[in-house]
Structure 1
């Protein structure tokens, strides 16, 4: 049988064990607990085994210190150009100071959610619809900067704010599609006009180059003609009459050859004197004798045919 003293010892041992178990607090990894003494915050318990004063200290708030995801519901936003779009998003945040997150704001997630939705309307409402659809990264960056700065006193860090969907009305989407098609047609027409312009420029450059080459050829031909005329003139000045006869006969025969090779059947009346033509032919004969004659030591080369027979020149009779 236990005596009274033994019973007291047993009761005291049980109380001590209860006090020890009541003062031992185990905090899971990724969490922080706040400790309140008589309702006042005293300290924060970190992950692991911690001791508190039983019946004096108590656990105030249990906070998750890991990065958390907050879904932002869909809301309508009116842009600067009065377009109504439906927008939703997602926010990522992490508690850095458990005491501030527990005692600086009531309803932490609700506060972050409302703060994010309000700034989404503010940021996106100050932009045009085209900017919303093409500058989503800039919108996310502005939202992150504004929301993180506003939530900093709460002891949290907003790590990311992302806009998931931007849904314009159906009629506005159709208008945008037509606008895009018109813009593409416009660019196609501009490219076609630019190609036509470039082709015309190249063709004009080609004509310019061809005209330049033709002018250069005519210039060189004129220079050669002038040189030939100068040579003939110098020969005439030196008293060589055969040169002028050769020059005139050459021009005469070239003109006659052009008339003879004309594809048109025509009758050409050419008033000229027979004596002039005979003189020209005689000049040609004299020049040919001087150039191709055999005034060598072996004696003259006999002419083909009848050497004693002069060339016949038939002059048509002239009517009075």
Structure 2
């Protein structure tokens, strides 16, 4: 009976030793093995063998990407408070033994690592913002991220980590500054709208002036052509009248008649035309004998002038 119990105890101990000799490491994780507190080796994902009771699993390190949110304040060169909300994405540098050793032994625990990482990022951003003015900060997101990466790459590499990305999700200022910035934007928008409206009005006025000028030019050209045609018509009318009078006068001379009858007829026809087309206007004519003779002489002179021109042609 005693031998059976002893055999059972030996079997149980062997079972514990054998079971503790195999270690399962999850995917995305690296196990760090120590022997009596001293680093020995690392175990890759999968089923691994270790010396029972001698080798010990010191820690399991995730090689997956990790993120942390940050909220902190900085002060610009012109003493304006800037409030940042950021997201930090980082991971283990690589799966090399040296990097894993740095991750495992550089910090006491994860909390100390996070504290150092966050404070380093905040300090780098604060140092950069302190050299810029408040009006410049909003347009320097990319520059801030590049500055932080440049400053932290060497530091994080010594810790066994790599900064994957830094996203500045929100950049705000004190309420009074945000209000003043909104007023500046609103005033600039109003100014731009006024300038656009002025440009549109100027274009409209210019186009209207051009159209009016073109209309005046067209009207003037049409009036010029009409005047020219009227002048040509009057000249032709006078020419035909002169020809008719010349023919009539020659026929009356051949018939030994007084040619003044023609002038008298023209005089009466003119008075008749005035009366029919005067539209109510009053026309005063000197009907005395002297005035009639004077008019006759002027008409005869005009007739002789046209006759001379006809002969010269």
Provide the TM-score with structure 1 as the length reference.
0.65
For 2:286 and 2:163, the matched residues in 1 are separated by 111
Aligned to 1:43: 41
Distance of aligned partners of 1:270 and 1:240 in 2 relative to their CA distance in 1, 3 Å threshold? closer
Q: What is the CA RMSD across the aligned residues, in angstroms?
A: 4.3
Structure with greater proportional helix content: 2
Deviation at 1:37, TM superposition (A): 3.4
For 2:284 and 2:39, the matched residues in 1 are separated by 133
Q: Which has the higher contact order (CA 8 A, sep 6+)?
A: 2
The farther-off stretch of 221-230 and 49-58 is 221-230
Distance of aligned partners of 1:148 and 1:238 in 2 relative to their CA distance in 1, 3 Å threshold? farther
Aligned to 1:69: 67
The total of aligned residue pairs comes to 269
1:202 to 186, 207, 210: 207
Deviation at 1:280, TM superposition (A): 9.7
For 1:129 and 1:271, the matched residues in 2 are separated by 97
For 2:166 and 2:158, the matched residues in 1 are separated by 18
Aligned to 1:211: 216
Deviation at 1:208, TM superposition (A): 0.5
Q: Does 1:158 align with 2:155?
A: no
For 2:163 and 2:178, the matched residues in 1 are separated by 33
User: Conserved in 2, the CA contact under 8 Å of 1:72 and 1:88?
Assistant: yes
Distance of aligned partners of 1:88 and 1:192 in 2 relative to their CA distance in 1, 3 Å threshold? same
Q: Which runs of 5+ in 2 are unaligned?
A: 248-261, 301-313
For 1:240 and 1:38, the matched residues in 2 are separated by 149
Q: Does 1:100 align with 2:97?
A: no
Structure 2 residue matching 1:53: 3-state secondary structure: coil
Provide the TM-score with structure 2 as the length reference.
0.66
Aligned to 2:153: 149
Structure 2 residue matching 1:142: 3-state secondary structure: helix
User: Conserved in 2, the CA contact under 8 Å of 1:123 and 1:139?
Assistant: no
Deviation at 1:186, TM superposition (A): 1.6
Q: Which runs of 5+ in 1 are unaligned?
A: 283-320
Deviation at 1:34, TM superposition (A): 0.8
For 1:270 and 1:105, the matched residues in 2 are separated by 129
User: Conserved in 1, the CA contact under 8 Å of 2:76 and 2:129?
Assistant: yes
Deviation at 1:231, TM superposition (A): 4.2
